Structure formats: C-alpha cells, structure tokens
Amino acid sequence: MCGIMGYVGPQQAATVLLDGLRRLEYRGYDSAGIAVANGAIAVLKAEGKIDRLQAVVDAVQPPGTIGIGHTRWATHGAPSDANAHPHTDASGKFVVVHNGIIENHQSLRDELVESGNVFTSETDTEILAHLVADAYDGDLVAAVRSVVDVAEGAYALVVMTEHEPRKIVAVRRVSPMVVGLGDGETFIASDIPAVLHRTKRFLIVEDGEMVVVDDSGVRITTIDGDPVERDVFVVDWDAGRAEKGGYEHFMLKEIYEQPAVVTETLTGRLDQDGSVWLADVTFDNDYARSLQSVWFTACGTAYHAGLVGAALFRKLLRIPTYVEYAHEMRYNEPLVGSESLTIAVSQSGETADTLAAARQARSQGSRMLALTNVVGSTLARDADDVLYTRAGPEISVASTKAYIAMLVAEYLIALRIGRVRGDVDKDLAAEIALGLNQLPGLLEEVLAREDAAIAAAEQIVDASDVYYLGRGLDYAVAMEGSLKLKEVSYLHSEAMPAGELKHGTLALITEGVPIIAVATQRALYDKTMSAVSEVKARGAHVIAVAYDDDVSIDREAHTVLRIPTAPDLIGPIVAAVPLQLVAYHVARMRGHDIDQPRNLAKSVTVE
Ligand code: AGP
C-alpha cells in the first residue's frame, strides 16, 4: 500500500518528509517523491528505493517548511519516475499525492484530455491534480471538495497549491490517514509509524472526513464541511508494533486486512447484476466463446488458489480446466495450445517456475492471463491479459490476503467468461455478485470470532500430525489450510479429499489425532460426514468448519469453527479465514518467527 506524508511546521520539510517515508518503507513501495513549497513548489521523485530519492533531494536541497510526500506501490501504470507521486497539473501550481484507486479514472481522464489537459503519467492520481486545478476558484478546500464529489473509489488524498502556500488539504475516503500533533508543527501520514518518534499524540481521521492543516494547527470536518470533534489518541506502542498496526505480527495484520482487500479487488469491476469490467483483460467475446480448455499454473498458495479456480471454472463454465504446479507443468509436456487459456497465478509475479510455465504455454500458442498482485511484475509484462488482485504489499512470508484476493479475482474471470458463453445465466450471475459483495461483511464476522480459532489452536498445538479433509471446493481450501499450518507452525499436516482417506491415510488415524474437516459444500455434506464418522470411529479429534445454520455438525465434530452462512460458491472463501487464524495461533503458541518462517522466502526467484 502506498505511504503518504504531509508536514507544516518550522523544520525543513524535505528532511521531515524523507524521514517519514523511510519509516513507511515496511508497507512496500516501488518509487517515492516529495513536493516542498517555498513560494514555488519543487517536486522531486525517483523510481526505486528512498536512497535514490535522497540523492535527488541532496542535489537540489529544496528549501521550505511545508510539503507532502509519498511512497508508491503501483496500481495504475508501471513503477517509473514519471508515475511516482507527487503529481501536478500543467502549471505545476497544484500538487497531489494519493493512496488507493480512483474507480472512474478512465472516464475522468477522457474528459480532461478532451478539454485540453496533457497527461505526463499513466496514473489515476494525476487526474486529481488536473481536476483540482480546473475547479480552483480561490479556495483550495472548495476545489478539493468538488473533486471528491466526482472521483469515485476508495482513497486518501493530500493536496497543496502555490496559491495558498501555507495550507495542506487532505481527504480520507476509506484509505487510512492520521494526523500527528507536534509542538507547533503538524504531520499527516497514512500510518502512525511515520512520525511516532516525533509525537505520540494523534488524531485518527475517519472515512469521509477532510483535514485542513496550516500554521495555526489542524481542522477536521466532514467532506461537506461540518466540523468534527476528535479526541486525541495517545499511542503507547513501540515503533515495531506500530508498523504492524498494533498487531503482534504482519501475518495477523494481513489476515485482518482481508475484508478491505476484497473490497479493493472488487472496486469498479463488478456490477450488482454480475456484469464484470476487467480493464487489462482484453480478449474479446469470440475468444471467450472459442475457448476449449483452461489451465491454471502456479506454486504454493497460488497453486491452491488455482485449485479453487479450476473447481469453480469446471462447475460454472463446464470447460475442461486443469491445474498444474508450474514446476511440473514445465516438464510434463502439457497439452496446452491455441485453443487454451493459461491463467498463471502469482502474488509476486516473479516466481521463476511460474514464469517459465507461463512462457512455455505461450510458446505453445496459448493466450496467457497473469493473475498477480504486483503491477509491472515480470509475469504481468509477459502476459496477454492481466488481472491485478490489489491486495497491497504482503509482508508476511505466509500468504493470506493475497490468497483471498486471488480467489475473488478468479470469480470475476469466471463471471466474465461465463456470461459471454452463456454458462452463467443472469440469475446465477446476480447471485454470485451478491455473494461477492457480501463477502467483506462475512469476513468481518469470521474475524470477530478469533477466540474460537484460538481455542481450536490450543487443541492441536501439541500434535505431531494434523489432517485436513474436504470435498470439491472445500478440498481446495483444506489444501491451503494445511500449507498455512506447516509453514508457520512447523507441524506436519496433510490435506486430502475426504473420499481418499480410506484408500490409505486412514491407517494413520489413531486416538487423539486431529482432523480438520471443512464442510461448506451442501451437496457433498453427507459424503464429508461419512469420512468424519470413519475418523471418529478411530478416536480422532475432529474440528469442523461449518456454517452457522448447520444444525447437525455438533453431533459430528468435537469442536466447530462456525462461519456465517453463505452460498456454497462463496462459503469456501469464508472458510479459509478460520484456517489461517488457527495456523497463526498454533505458530504463536509454539513461539515461532511467524512472519519469517525458517527456510522460506517471500518470493522464490530460482527454479
Ligand atoms: C505461501 O504462503 C507461500 N509463501 C508460497 O507458497 C507462495 O505462495 C509461493 O511461493 C508462490 O508465490 P507467488 O504467489 O509469489 O508466485
């Protein structure tokens, strides 16, 4: 996620801003920039690490005690000097930094181009600079307010102008923002750690609020201008904990970000009737109709997302759909060709095996769609079509929010293809859209039940093996639950389709062995419960993940992790979250380095 800074006070702004941006590095970024006003506004920016920006700033040494700054994590347009923030209008007198996504950026850009504005970047942010300049009539607050009225989406925005040289105006629409209160100075930041060493006193800006900072201090209003009273929040966290938003580990923070991530993944892409807009998925309807097969290829958690995708595609689209580990696909002489769509799934977009498998599929004539979290990654650049998951940077090695975003994105692709081919009719499309739109709320409910996951974790923390069972979509989710447990808790675990158990693994089930059974697929419920009965008969300890309205599960399982009732197609996404929480808490109880598990790397860039 991008980092935002603003400063008004007596110190040299460039120094304060760069220092703050360094402290936001943990959020992940690919370029950075600052703007400092001293009468005229100087804008300095650079792709890459903050040291590059520091060199540019050292060379120029822009004077001034008011300014804004930004670390960018690309969402529209690849990482580059030109796309780095701040962005200005043509006159250079209005300057903007921004975090989040402007949903209707394309139509706004088209209108601005038509009225003669020239763009110097590919970002959605630059639109805001032009819009504020166009709207300015001697009152920056009014101009920003009018822009927020037309710019749809979830974002945070900070604006400055030469015309009102000692003022910063900021707006929060969903994306986070705080105000740090210093002694005769005020800071704006997207996150507390940016200025925690300078002040412990903060105002938390809420969604739909505007902040005006000048030499007299800070004023918070609603976007419409009604005054807001806000208590000062005194932070007693240390810097490490503050980076994690008060959570003990990035993994837990990222688990808790999932409702917001789902909203980001869906923003501007899905209508209530199930119509889908995917800007960088460019294949036409004839292509979608002509498809004969779909191949998912990926590794690790991304492969498990592929398993869900494949089950979904087979169910909804009735197209033969295959999932191959990328490292296997490379050497398996896959029968992929010009009638196939290959969907390469990778959070980083840099996994060597996934890149190689995707390239091989393309060399055999397949169109390749990159499903990735990182804008401008190698996979995205190699692809014919790209769907960005918009999960924001994921810092914990164990993937959680990127996985959930991948699943949501797969539903969007399935809808896009299914509507064209006629496999997904209007009613089903609307039903899936409703389920997806309800997902953030469902995930919030699951997160509110973390205590149940802690209790389940206590039951397995001393086990030597844990088995995960599920059928259909539940099996795919069980695979991911099992991997998560292995990665962070170092406990041996295996997942299998519930029906496979009695073909061998049942020999390992003895008194007290923990079984985690996922039971969201109503059509397969009885089948899953038969397997549960088999393991119970051998003394296993059964923990089930089941819906709130499942009245028989208490008879079957020793412990039930309840999830809010959801349609069968959406339930598996919801069920993934308690499994993540169980893995996290087992690892915590075992005292492990959760964010950096032994022997593992975030991105595996070698074969
Ligand atoms: C997930 O928790 C792991 N860190 C790992 O399995 C990961 O999903 C895999 O290495 C693939 O990475 P990618 O999504 O960046 O390609």
Measure Cα distances from 424 to 157, 294, 355, 438 in Å: 39, 17, 31, 19
Q: Is 529 in the pocket of ligand 1 (CB under 6 A)?
A: no
Joined tokens for residue 50:
């903050």
Rounded mean pLDDT of 6-30?
91
Atom of ligand 1 nearest to the CA of 354: 16
Active site residues: 2, 602
Cβ contact 429:275 at 8 Å: yes
C-alpha span between 286 and 307 (Å, rounded): 26
Q: Going by CA atoms, what residue is nearest to atom 6 of ligand 1? A: 300
Antiparallel, parallel or unpaired: β 367-372 and 340-346: parallel
Compute, in angstroms, the gap from residue 386 CA to the centroid of ligand 1: 18
Joined tokens for residue 282:
């460019």
Q: Is 595 in the pocket of ligand 1 (CB under 6 A)?
A: no
Neighbours of 463 (CB within 10 A): 18
Q: Is 346 in the pocket of ligand 1 (CB under 6 A)?
A: yes
pLDDT tens column, 167-205:
999 999 878 899 999 999 999 998 888 898 999 999 989
Q: Is 300 in the pocket of ligand 1 (CB under 6 A)?
A: yes
C-alpha span between 467 and 65 (Å, rounded): 60
Atom of ligand 1 nearest to the CA of 402: 14
Q: Is 604 in the pocket of ligand 1 (CB under 6 A)?
A: yes
Q: Going by CA atoms, what residue is nearest to atom 8 of ligand 1? A: 301
b/e code 337-351 from CB counts within 10 Å (16+ = b): eeebbbbbbbbbbbb
Q: Is 397 in the pocket of ligand 1 (CB under 6 A)?
A: yes
Nearest to 43 by CA among 79, 119, 97, 117: 97
Compute, in angstroms, the gap from residue 302 CA to the centroid of ligand 1: 6
Any idea which residue has 């991948």 for tokens?
406
Q: Is 302 in the pocket of ligand 1 (CB under 6 A)?
A: yes
Joined tokens for residue 449:
């039940």
Rounded mean pLDDT of 283-297?
96
How far the first Cα of the chain sits from its last, in Å, is 29
Atom of ligand 1 nearest to the CA of 348: 15
Q: Going by CA atoms, what residue is nearest to atom 5 of ligand 1? A: 300
How would you class 138 by CB atoms within 10 Å of its CB: exposed for 0-12, middle for 13-18, buried for 19 or more? Answer: exposed
pTM of the model: 0.80
Neighbours of 318 (CB within 10 A): 11
C-alpha span between 469 and 545 (Å, rounded): 10
Neighbours of 174 (CB within 10 A): 18
C-alpha span between 540 and 349 (Å, rounded): 40
**How does the average pLDDT of the chain come out, rounded?**
93
Q: Is 399 in the pocket of ligand 1 (CB under 6 A)?
A: yes
Domains and CATH numbers, the chain: 3-241 (3.60.20.10), 250-447 (3.40.50.10490), 450-589 (3.40.50.10490)
Compute, in angstroms, the gap from residue 479 CA to the centroid of ligand 1: 13
Rounded mean pLDDT of 82-107?
92
Q: Is 487 in the pocket of ligand 1 (CB under 6 A)?
A: yes
Helix axes 13-23, 50-60, angle to 10 degrees: 170
Q: Is 351 in the pocket of ligand 1 (CB under 6 A)?
A: yes
Contacts of 153 (CB under 8 A, 6+ apart): 100, 101, 102, 103, 104, 105, 173, 267, 268
pLDDT tens column, 471-527:
999 999 999 999 999 999 999 999 999 999 989 999 999 999 999 999 999 999 999
C-alpha 253: how far from chain center: 12
pLDDT tens column, 404-424:
999 999 999 999 999 999 999
In three-state secondary structure terms, 234 is strand
Ligand 1 site-directed mutation target among 254, 255, 296, 299, most atoms within 8 Å of CB = 299
pLDDT-derived band at 388 (thresholds 50, 70, 90) equals very high
Under DSSP, the state recorded for 109 is H
Nearest to 298 by CA among 201, 410, 381, 181: 410
Q: Is 603 in the pocket of ligand 1 (CB under 6 A)?
A: yes
Q: Is 348 in the pocket of ligand 1 (CB under 6 A)?
A: yes
Rounded mean pLDDT of 2-25?
94
Neighbours of 137 (CB within 10 A): 9
Q: Is 580 in the pocket of ligand 1 (CB under 6 A)?
A: no
Cβ contact 376:360 at 8 Å: no
Compute, in angstroms, the gap from residue 298 CA to the centroid of ligand 1: 9
Residue 1 has pLDDT above 70, yes or no: no
Beta bridge partners of 6: 68, 188
Q: Is 326 in the pocket of ligand 1 (CB under 6 A)?
A: no
pLDDT tens column, 564-580:
999 999 999 999 999 99
Rounded mean pLDDT of 452-479?
96
How would you class 233 by CB atoms within 10 Å of its CB: exposed for 0-12, middle for 13-18, buried for 19 or more? Answer: middle
Antiparallel, parallel or unpaired: β 514-519 and 541-547: parallel
- One-letter amino acid identity for 43? V
Strands, sheet with 541-547, edge to edge from the N-terminal-most edge strand: 492-497, 465-470, 514-519, 541-547, 559-563
Compute, in angstroms, the gap from residue 593 CA to the centroid of ligand 1: 18
Rounded mean pLDDT of 430-451?
97
SS3 content of the chain, % helix, strand, coil (to 5): 40, 25, 35
Compute, in angstroms, the gap from residue 301 CA to the centroid of ligand 1: 5
Q: Going by CA atoms, what residue is nearest to atom 9 of ligand 1? A: 300
- Position 602 scores a pLDDT of 76
Atom of ligand 1 nearest to the CA of 484: 2
Neighbours of 212 (CB within 10 A): 17
Compute, in angstroms, the gap from residue 185 CA to the centroid of ligand 1: 43
Atom of ligand 1 nearest to the CA of 298: 16
Q: Going by CA atoms, what residue is nearest to atom 7 of ligand 1? A: 300
pLDDT-derived band at 25 (thresholds 50, 70, 90) equals confident
Joined tokens for residue 53:
């920006």
Residue 243 has pLDDT above 90, yes or no: no
Compute, in angstroms, the gap from residue 299 CA to the centroid of ligand 1: 6
Ligand 1 site-directed mutation target among 323, 351, 400, most atoms within 8 Å of CB = 351
pLDDT-derived band at 229 (thresholds 50, 70, 90) equals very high
State the DSSP string of 68-88.
EEEEE--SSS-S-TTTSSPEE
Cβ contact 403:481 at 8 Å: no
Cβ contact 294:455 at 8 Å: no
Cβ contact 532:520 at 8 Å: no
pLDDT-derived band at 282 (thresholds 50, 70, 90) equals very high
Higher pLDDT, 240 or 68: 68
C-alpha span between 403 and 500 (Å, rounded): 25
Compute, in angstroms, the gap from residue 268 CA to the centroid of ligand 1: 27
Compute, in angstroms, the gap from residue 393 CA to the centroid of ligand 1: 13
Ligand 1 site-directed mutation target among 301, 379, 389, most atoms within 8 Å of CB = 301
pLDDT above 90 covers a percentage of the chain that reads: 82
